[in-house]
Amino acid sequence: MHKLNKAIGNYGEDIGEEYLIKNNYTIKERNFRCRTGEIDIIAYNEEYMCFVEVKTRYDCSFGTPAEAVNKTKQYKLKKLAEFYVYKNNYYNYNIRFDIVEIILNGLDNKYQIKLIKNAF
């Protein structure tokens, strides 16, 4: 099951990255990892450095994909962003946290996508 979830997540990140590029984001980095965890996509949009969490699901029976980004996950993402800014000396940027929600329709490779800017 873990490999399937990872494959779905990677597929969602590919879709999310393409969508962000079409919406005037410049991708800086994908899957930034450190001991604390991982940030799916780091990108620039207007005057913001955006830390983007991509959530992919087949349905909303357990809530929307964005609802999976709970307070604990938000705290972890903020800590990861702080470390990224510190590590790369990016102190002169405005920071924003965005979420890309993707709901897959497994039968025909179609999907619904929603970008939530400044999600938290």
Per-residue pLDDT of the chain (120 residues; tens, 9 = 90+): 567 777 788 999 999 999 999 999 999 999 999 998 999 999 999 999 999 999 999 888 888 999 999 999 999 999 999 999 999 999 999 999 999 999 998 667 789 999 999 999
Q: How far apart are alpha carbons 97 and 74 in whole angstroms?
A: 9
Residue 34's pLDDT is 92
What pTM value is reported for the model? 0.92
Is residue 25 assigned to a domain? yes
Count of other CB atoms within 10 angstroms of residue 12: 23
Please check whether residue 116 lies inside any domain of the structure: no
Strands 48-57 and 26-34 turn out to be unpaired
CATH classification of the domain holding 97 = 3.40.1350.10
Residue 1: per-residue pLDDT: 55
User: Is 37 inside any structural domain?
Assistant: yes
| Residue 72 domain boundaries | 2-109
Question: So what's the pLDDT on residue 6?
Answer: 78
Residue type, 71: K
| 55 part of a folded domain | yes
Q: How many domains does the chain have?
A: 1
